């Protein structure tokens, strides 16, 4: 298995056809030879799989193959920097992952993970973590130990809260928490001083933390399809001059005096001056009936 000296691991399903000798390694990890041939030119990638028909010697058992792979990971795991886990969907993470202490990128999109183990905190060199489209209900506090993270994707899960220590992720630049079940945000979120993009659409938020003004580098803020019924941007000051956007569509924003569209336009212009926002997407479906305009 000397050819396993690669930097990227891809775990997934890609059936091999027309193989004379194959063993269906269900729930095991093994090398996809046909896939390796297709990627022969990409010398920095190691292709492994969760479930695959793999040609092996007829006398070799799946257990011995897996043992060889684990031995290889013990010796060479530190050389792996990227990990893609693709189909079939996983409900848990294999413990072998925690041997890959130099991982910088992990793609776990589209699985059925309900929770993350505390061992995630061991991967302190991670810069990108993709957990899109899982079934996560909560996140471990150990996630906040990943202080080198620059990109964190948590959209399309079932999160009701974020870890209180999320503010420790000082290098985070991109945070996507859209399509969850958040009704409030921890104050620690406002300590992410390098954050450039914050996507919070399709949650149940009614307010922003007052400390949100600390996010001086923020250039993109998505608040669409939440439950804001008052203008949420009074304390927000976006100072970066490039591509500043705020999305507010799908919120029941209104004033106690039931503002007319004319009054709203005046408030809108004032908000643009106050917050230095270049573009605000304000498509509010429940704003005010046309019959009540002045």
**CATH code of the domain in which 215 resides:** 3.80.10.10
Same domain? For 136 and 72 the reply is no
* Confidence category of residue 249, pLDDT binned at 50, 70, 90: confident
Of 27, 58, 76, which one is at a domain's C-terminal end? Answer: 76
Question: How many structural domains comprise the chain?
Answer: 2
| pLDDT tens-digit series, residues 117-160 | 999 999 999 999 999 999 999 999 999 999 999 999 999 999 99
Of 36, 59, 76, which one is at a domain's C-terminal end? Answer: 76
- Residue 269 is predicted with a pLDDT of 53
Sign of CA dihedral 186, 188, 191, 196: negative
| pLDDT tens-digit series, residues 33-50 | 344 444 433 323 333 433
Whose tokens are 């992410």? That residue is: 192
Same domain? For 6 and 117 the reply is no
Q: Specify the pTM.
A: 0.70
Total Cβ atoms within 10 A of residue 209: 15
Of 61, 76, 91, which one is at a domain's C-terminal end? Answer: 76
- Residue 229 is predicted with a pLDDT of 83
pLDDT tops 80 at residue 195: yes
Domain range spanning residue 159?
104-292
Same domain? For 208 and 119 the reply is yes
Task: Please tell me the number of Cα atoms within 13 Å of 67 on its side-chain side.
Answer: 5
Task: Please tell me the number of Cα atoms within 13 Å of 225 on its side-chain side.
Answer: 10
């Amino acid at each position: 298995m000397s050819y396993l000296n690669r930097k990227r691991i891809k775990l997934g399903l890609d059936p091999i056809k027309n193989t004379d000798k194959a063993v269906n390694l269900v729930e095991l990890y093994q090398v996809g030879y046909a896939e390796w041939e297709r990627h022969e030119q990409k010398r920095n990638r190691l292709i492994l799989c969760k479930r695959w028909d793999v040609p092996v010697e007829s006398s070799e058992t799946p257990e011995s193959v897996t043992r060889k792979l684990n031995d290889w990971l013990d010796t060479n795991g530190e050389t792996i920097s990227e990990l893609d886990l693709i189909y079939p969907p996983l409900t848990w993470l294999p413990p072998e992952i925690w041997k890959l202490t130099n991982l910088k990128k992990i793609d776990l999109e589209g699985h059925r993970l309900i929770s993350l183990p505390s061992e995630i905190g061991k991967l302190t060199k991670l810069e990108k973590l993709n957990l899109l489209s899982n079934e996560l209900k909560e996140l471990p506090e150990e996630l906040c130990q990943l202080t080198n993270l620059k990109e964190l994707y948590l959209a399309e899960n079932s999160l009701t809260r974020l870890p209180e220590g999320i503010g420790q992720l000082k290098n985070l630049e991109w945070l996507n928490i859209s399509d969850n079940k958040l009704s409030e945000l921890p104050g620690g979120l406002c300590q992410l001083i390098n954050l450039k993009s914050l996507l919070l659409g399709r949650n149940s938020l009614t307010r922003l933390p007052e400390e949100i003004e600390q996010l001086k580098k923020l250039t993109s803020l998505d608040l669409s399809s939440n439950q804001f019924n008052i203008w949420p941007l009074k304390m927000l000051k976006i100072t970066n001059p490039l591509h500043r956007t705020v999305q507010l569509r799908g919120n029941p924003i209104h004033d106690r005096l039931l503002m007319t569209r004319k009054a709203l336009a005046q408030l809108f212009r004032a908000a643009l001056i106050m917050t230095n926002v270049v573009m605000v997407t304000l498509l509010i479906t429940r704003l005010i009936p046309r019959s009540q305009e002045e």
